[in-house]
Amino acid sequence: MKSILPLFLCLSLFYACKQEKSTSVSEPESIEKKISAVDAKDPDTNDPTILKTSTGKSIKLITDQKSSSLSDLKIVALDFTNTKDTFKIEDCDPLQHAWTQDLDGNGYDELYLITTSSGSGSYATIYGFASNQDLSMTPIYVPEITEKELLPEGTYHGYMGHDSIYIANNKIYRKYPVYKEGDANCCPSGGDKILSYSLKQGEASWILKIEN
């Protein structure tokens, strides 16, 4: 009996350590907003929206509203010739608009998604997916608004959200009120600023390039 007791204690300690280790590994890590490719065979958990391009292609958009301020978006290129591309945008702000538009005039529509944060700033974010001659889809690179861009010499100086995104004349426009130093969130005093984006083909990907 005395020889069994130490063995029982050792096994108990080993099991407890194993349980503690597995718990720490399974704790969620901080998730970065990103566009990722996912398995096209994943089941749909929400009713999808089908968007049609001018060339008759179908893109399925599935929104998983995880909370009042966070969503997952899944984009599926349904009938593109060579592939059934599927992308997922994780933990993004709630979706406000979804458009198909041929900004660069190459005859093939892109997909643009606009999300807006639920906080007091109502910050808008642009996501884009380009058609590669209706054979496949590729995420469009959209430059982020960095701290450097918010400095006095930066493109977004005075930006504190409250922006609206719209399409006109084959460009995407971002209009927002300009905040001066000391302005309260309710009362920007710097007037409005409008930035325009054009779609360009880079060396490795499509890019939404700011023109002003």
As a whole number, mean pLDDT of residues 17-28 equals 32
- pLDDT single digits (tens) 115-168: 999 888 899 999 999 999 999 999 999 999 999 999 999 999 999 999 999 999
Selection from 55, 62, 65, 56 nearest residue 76 by Cα: 62
Could you tell me the CA-to-CA distances from 22 to 1, 11, 14, 30 in Å, in that order? 32, 17, 12, 18
Selection from 3, 118, 137 nearest residue 70 by Cα: 118
What is the pLDDT at residue 92? 95
Per DSSP (E only), the strands in 56-182 are 58-65, 71-77, 86-92, 95-101, 110-116, 124-131, 137-141, 164-168, 171-177
Dist CA 64 CA 48 (whole Å): 10
Judging by DSSP bridges, how do beta strands 35-37 and 71-77 pair with one another? unpaired
Higher pLDDT: 70 or 23? It is 70
Question: What is the torsional sign of CA 16, 19, 23, 24?
Answer: positive
Could you tell me the CA-to-CA distances from 1 to 8, 181, 186 in Å, in that order? 11, 78, 76
Q: What residue ranges do the domains of the chain occupy?
A: 35-39+48-210
- pLDDT single digits (tens) 38-59: 554 444 556 789 999 999 999 9
The answer to whether residue 79 scores a pLDDT higher than 70 is yes
Domain covering 35-39+48-210 assigned CATH 3.40.630.10 in the classification: no
- pLDDT single digits (tens) 154-165: 999 999 999 999
Kindly list the strands in the beta sheet with 35-37, ordered across the sheet, starting from the edge strand earlier in the chain.
35-37, 86-92, 71-77, 58-65, 49-52
